[in-house]
Amino acid sequence: MRKNMLIWISFTSISIGILIYFLDSLNLGLPAVIRNYLPDALWAISFSASICWLWFDDFKLGTIWYFVCLGSMISFEFLQYIQIIKGTSDFIDIIVYFFFSLTVYLLSYKTIFLKTKP
């Protein structure tokens, strides 16, 4: 994946997530999966794509920052669980964060994993 594609993915993902929140505020009866988990998946994609874009040229630092990113997402759910942050803690959110952020991370560094030039 090219570096410029990551910033496009980040911007598009967060924009679609905002649109879903807006549509949900109109009480259109969105399905629970779309209302509850798709914005979280899009947020994880956007966050991870931004981190991978920032550290695209440095795989080691990119990997460290990816895990900081993932840790912050999991910490957010934990802080909701112990009621320091308002919200409903959900283990499925952690799975969504992990799966979608890992997908972006792997795709952004696939050239390194496959040992080919970008």
Other Cβ atoms within 10 Å of 54 Cβ, number: 15
Residue pLDDT tens, the chain, 118 long: 788 899 999 999 999 999 999 999 999 898 998 998 999 999 999 999 999 999 888 888 989 999 999 999 999 999 999 999 998 889 999 999 999 999 999 998 876 655 545 5
**Does residue 10 fall inside a structural domain?**
yes
Q: Which pLDDT does position 101 carry in this prediction?
A: 95
Whether residue 109 lies inside any domain: the answer is yes
Reported residue count of the chain is 118
Residue 118 lies in a domain: no
The CA-based angle 75-78-83, given to 5 degrees, is 125
Q: Can you tell me the distance from the alpha carbon of 107 to that of 111, in angstroms, rounded to the nearest whole number? A: 8
For the chain, the domain total comes to 1
**Distance from C-alpha of 34 to C-alpha of 59, rounded to nearest angstrom:** 33
> What's the whole-model pTM score?
0.86
Q: What is the pLDDT of residue 58?
A: 87
The answer to the question of residue 47 being in a domain is yes
Which domain does 96 fall in, by range?
A: 3-113
